[in-house]
Amino acid sequence: MTEPSKLPHHGVPEHQPAAGGIAARARASAAPQYLTGLNPEQRDAVETLDGPVLVLAGAGTGKTRVLTTRIAHILSQGRARPHEILSVTFTNKAAREMKLRLGQMLGQAVEGMPWLGTFHSIGGRILRIHAELVQLKSNFTVLDVDDQVRLLKQLLQAENIDDKRWPARMLAGLIDGWKNRGLTPSQVPAGEAAVFGNGKGGKLYASYQERLKILNAADFGDLLLENIRLFREHPDVLRQYQNRFKFILVDEYQDTNVAQYLWLRLLSQAASKPGVPLSAVIPGRIEDANPESRGNEDSSRDSGSGPSDHPGMTEDPLPASRAREQIAHPGLAPSSPLKNICCVGDDDQSIYGWRGAEVDNILRFEHDFPGAKVIRLERNYRSTGHILAAASHLIAHNEGRLGKTLRTEDVDGEKVTVTGSWDSEEEARAIGEEIEELQRAGENLNEVAILVRASFQMREFEDRFVTLGLPYRVIGGPRFYERAEIRDALAYLRVINSPADDLAFERIVNVPKRGLGDATVQMLHDHARKRRIPLFEAARAVVETDELKPKARGSLRDLILHFDRWRARREVTSHTELAEIVLDESGYTEMWQKDRSADAAGRLENLKELVRSMEEFENLQGFLEHISLVMDRDGGADDEAVSLMTLHSAKGLEFDNVFLPGWEEGLFPSQRTLDEQGRAGLEEERRLAHVGLTRARRRAKLYFATNRRIHGTWSTTIPSRFLDELPAPNVEITESKGGSGWGGSGGYGPSRFDNVESFGSSYTTPGWQRAQANRARNQNRNGPGRGGFEESQSSFQNSRNDTFSRNKRAPMVIEGELVAKSTGTASEFSLDDRVFHQKFGYGNVVKIDGNKLTIAFEKAGEKKVVDSFVERA
């Protein structure tokens, strides 16, 4: 057992004596309404307003409630006004949620919380105010990954670096990593900078930053890094914000990276002393580093291309891991007074290490914020006993954790189930059936979720649910604004708004096709570089000459005229109308209307949604400013549906029934994470498993398949080690239900996974696992246990043998399964009707059976689908 905090808690002296008096009186009198119902720890977390506070909030312990109540408390105690509270979250969703709940608690006084938002949106807002101090204009563009890569490609070309050997994507990743660690080009350790492009990595980073300034653009990392630079180089600006923010609250602190940590540290220092040495928080100050660290684990051992590949690195005196450690926690100034900062997080839910998050930030909080009070929330109000026990037992296998013991007062409930199935298809079928069973038992589908490790797992479920007619929705997935059609549309608007936005111009110059191919663009580039003007201006100049062929020249001139006209219209037309005009006149809408592919209709729908969402904004400028940060498609579909998402996007959510498929070695834990991060990676995967389990209120159901298709070829897998780490008393092994339907006819025989009942005895023994592994090796040679059957199919896969695989599917749809959904009424469709389906595209009805249609799709082949999923084309 760990005591709440070993350190004595010294409250920072009261800033506002008058307000303090009120606070004291309030505390003495009856507790305000909003405090009732909080348990003692929660209440402590809400009421401890002075000094640094770390709230270790396990899953389901009321974290959001504590945060919002704390804000309410600060406000009602008169300790600060709404605009004096800085409250940061990671996702827009979390920010929205907090605003909503604050609103419920306080009435609608929430509009006045301008500094409640994500790290990036708040960083971006500050940056826009002081843009000129970091060589930007306040209307700078926020680049998406695509733009970044395109820009880097150009730089690589300019440096004559083979982008085969040194992919732009990789450089983007490196730069992103550096920015996450708060490193400007000059601060990147020489050895690391040399790893890319024959030693040119650092130089490329520097010129990338230069180019960004010329383009008046910032990437995602800059929103924080440039903020830090701003604060460092302009202490007066920093002081202004230090003065403004009387209280700082941070959600999901375990997910903060070094840059975010530095940013928080700068802001959390009390501004009363202008003389606080800023150098104290400059990253990379190795000499100040604190040697006392938890760096003994060999978890950070770099596998693969280590320093040995690069002899030039030997001059680097520090192993990468130690350098990171020291950069992560540069010398602090213990003497500098700290403001009232409250960080809420759970080290057991840190799942973003790959994105630069430093679990260390939370593990070392007491060290970084001396005098911090640590409060543990360990009462779980979400899950039943068995589920919580399973999750706790699993996570206890991790070593690097602060340690919490979650308790629940709920009943034991149902045991966690583990189900094995033959392959991923059977897994999907089994889960589909169980969900239908739950539905028959009266469960609401909104309370059912399927959480997968990797998004490619989702397709199988989608396919299955479509044939079952089971409504589902995919959460997360490709972000709305990351979709090609949205980015294209935005690119048009960006060029209108800011003619110097070369990346946007390049994106749409030949979309839709106008006969302006690579050659033309290259020519424009040369022209632009020579005269140091934006591409658009170069284009304007070039059409006046006869350097281009008449065809290209003509369409380029048309394009320029279009843009001129659109820009002129901007004055007299609303921005939403302008967007419609642009999409129309540019031929962009037409391009998708002509497109016969399955997702074209969806894309047009998305474009409409985009225009609709513009209405919320004042003008085009305002819209573009917020777009890359705020866009979330929530498409208001409130209908009952199963949720399908990755484990990562499930964090913070909860459901009565949670299905967790794919618990197999290699997939979960992911082999790649293990290869790249070693033991630290394994622990992160385990935390992910813990997150998955703790999403469940009443039922958690785990699955593993013996065969899974990876990269299009079948391979045999063994159950995840995490299954072995579950406590047997809380787990029940069940037989896959989906398999019974065709297991006999399929003739799988002895290789079928059939001894799952022996969990706890042979199942967990190394011998059993070795046997599985051996079987896996043998079967890999022959295909999954069908004596080469699959193998022969895959070798014919290029010879248009589609019908074969389709036919194989057909008998798998067992009529009985569909009865539950069948309405019995005749379908409103008739044979040969032309229909459209969101997922499969266009097709013709070839068979009707009640409300179930068999449709021959143009692209997707023949499928059985419930009629409510298609519309007349």
How many residues bind DNA, per CB under 7 A?
A: 44
| Segment 407 to 446, residues that bind DNA, using CB under 7 A | none
* Active site (annotated) includes residue 252: yes
CA pair distance 582, 616, nearest whole angstrom: 19
681 near DNA, judged by CB under 7 A: yes
CA pair distance 49, 610, nearest whole angstrom: 42
Please select the residue that binds DNA; options are 41, 90, 497, 663, rule is CB under 7 A: 90
Residue 374 or 491: which CB sits closer to DNA?
491
| Closest to 252 in 3D by CA, of 523, 449, 420, 64 | 64
Residue 135 to residues 132, 212, 217, 229, Cα–Cα distance (Å) = 5, 10, 10, 11
Query: What does the block give as tokens for 506?
Result: 């390049």
- String of contacts with DNA for each residue 747-786, x by CB under 7 A: ----------------------------------------
670 near DNA, judged by CB under 7 A: yes
* Active site (annotated) includes residue 251: yes
Selected catalytic residue, list 252, 436, 460, 463:
252
Helix count (H) and strand count (E) of the chain? 35, 23
The residue range among 27-35, 115-123, 182-190, 609-617 that interacts with DNA, by the rule CB under 7 A, is: 115-123
The residue range among 85-93, 391-399, 720-728, 768-776 that interacts with DNA, by the rule CB under 7 A, is: 85-93
Residue 789 or 815: which CB sits closer to DNA?
789
The residue range among 389-397, 412-420, 449-457, 635-643 that interacts with DNA, by the rule CB under 7 A, is: 449-457
CA pair distance 266, 287, nearest whole angstrom: 20
- What number of CA atoms fall less than 13 Å from residue 147's CA on the CB side? 25
| Closest to 297 in 3D by CA, of 721, 678, 675, 725 | 678
CA pair distance 276, 209, nearest whole angstrom: 29
Query: What does the block give as tokens for 378?
Result: 């360990």
What's the min distance (Å) between Cβ of 526 and DNA? 12
> Coil, helix or strand for 102?
helix
Selected catalytic residue, list 14, 64, 96, 379:
64
Selected catalytic residue, list 63, 179, 246, 721:
63
479 near DNA, judged by CB under 7 A: yes
Cβ distance 66 to 43 under 8 Å?
no
What's the min distance (Å) between Cβ of 603 and DNA? 13
Please select the residue that binds DNA; options are 48, 68, 69, 118, rule is CB under 7 A: 118
Please select the residue that binds DNA; options are 39, 64, 91, 734, rule is CB under 7 A: 91
Please select the residue that binds DNA; options are 455, 619, 734, 844, rule is CB under 7 A: 455
Please select the residue that binds DNA; options are 120, 382, 697, 786, rule is CB under 7 A: 120
398 near DNA, judged by CB under 7 A: no
Cβ distance 95 to 116 under 8 Å?
yes
The residue range among 68-76, 98-106, 154-162, 448-456 that interacts with DNA, by the rule CB under 7 A, is: 448-456
What's the min distance (Å) between Cβ of 226 and DNA? 14
Question: 423-432: b or e for each residue (b if 16 or more CB lie within 10 Å)?
Answer: bbbbbbbbbb
Cβ distance 344 to 68 under 8 Å?
no
- Dihedrals phi, psi of 714, to nearest 5 degrees: -75, 140
508 near DNA, judged by CB under 7 A: no
* Active site (annotated) includes residue 64: yes
354 near DNA, judged by CB under 7 A: yes
The residue range among 112-120, 421-429, 490-498, 825-833 that interacts with DNA, by the rule CB under 7 A, is: 112-120
Residue 520 or 827: which CB sits closer to DNA?
520
Residue 118 or 657: which CB sits closer to DNA?
118
The CA angle 52-55-58, to the nearest 5 degrees, is 165
Cβ distance 642 to 473 under 8 Å?
yes
> Which residues does 549 contact at the CB level (< 8 Å), separation at least 6?
none
Query: What does the block give as tokens for 129?
Result: 């105010």
Residue 414 or 427: which CB sits closer to DNA?
427
808 near DNA, judged by CB under 7 A: no
Query: What does the block give as tokens for 145?
Result: 């990954």
> Coil, helix or strand for 396?
coil
Residue 273 or 804: which CB sits closer to DNA?
804
Look at strands 841-849 and 834-837 and give their pairing: antiparallel
The residue range among 12-20, 301-309, 511-519, 715-723 that interacts with DNA, by the rule CB under 7 A, is: 511-519
What's the min distance (Å) between Cβ of 622 and DNA? 19
862 near DNA, judged by CB under 7 A: no
DSSP string, 417-463: EEEEEEEHHHHHHHHHHHHHHHHHTT--GGGEEEEESSGGGHHHHHH
| Closest to 144 in 3D by CA, of 627, 635, 633 | 627
Q: How many residues does the chain have?
A: 873
> Coil, helix or strand for 113?
coil
812 near DNA, judged by CB under 7 A: no
- Dihedrals phi, psi of 64, to nearest 5 degrees: -65, -35
The residue range among 242-250, 406-414, 510-518, 572-580 that interacts with DNA, by the rule CB under 7 A, is: 510-518
Selected catalytic residue, list 50, 251, 485, 684:
251
Selected catalytic residue, list 401, 514, 687, 695:
695
676 near DNA, judged by CB under 7 A: yes
CA pair distance 275, 297, nearest whole angstrom: 38
792 near DNA, judged by CB under 7 A: no
456 near DNA, judged by CB under 7 A: yes
- String of contacts with DNA for each residue 164-183, x by CB under 7 A: x-----------x-------
Residue 186 or 797: which CB sits closer to DNA?
797
* Active site (annotated) includes residue 325: no
CA pair distance 702, 571, nearest whole angstrom: 58
Cβ distance 134 to 226 under 8 Å?
yes
CA pair distance 413, 693, nearest whole angstrom: 14
Largest CA distance in the chain: 85
596 near DNA, judged by CB under 7 A: no
Please select the residue that binds DNA; options are 649, 715, 769, 844, rule is CB under 7 A: 649
Please select the residue that binds DNA; options are 648, 786, 837, 864, rule is CB under 7 A: 648
Residue 462 or 754: which CB sits closer to DNA?
462
> Which residues does 647 contact at the CB level (< 8 Å), separation at least 6?
351, 451, 452, 453, 688, 691, 692
476 near DNA, judged by CB under 7 A: yes
Please select the residue that binds DNA; options are 519, 814, 819, 846, rule is CB under 7 A: 519
- CA 222 vs. chain centroid, Å, equals 18
Edge-to-edge order in the sheet of strand 834-837: 861-866, 852-857, 841-849, 834-837, 870-872
554 near DNA, judged by CB under 7 A: no
> Coil, helix or strand for 86?
strand
The residue range among 320-328, 377-385, 499-507, 705-713 that interacts with DNA, by the rule CB under 7 A, is: 705-713
What's the min distance (Å) between Cβ of 552 and DNA? 6
| Segment 219 to 238, residues that bind DNA, using CB under 7 A | 220-221
Please select the residue that binds DNA; options are 19, 710, 773, 820, rule is CB under 7 A: 710
Active site residues: 63-64, 251-252, 349, 695
- The footprint of DNA (CB under 7 A) covers 90-92, 118-120, 145, 164, 176, 220-221, 351-352, 354-355, 454-456, 476, 479, 510, 513, 515-520, 549, 552, 629, 646, 648-649, 670, 672-673, 676, 681, 710-712, 797, 805
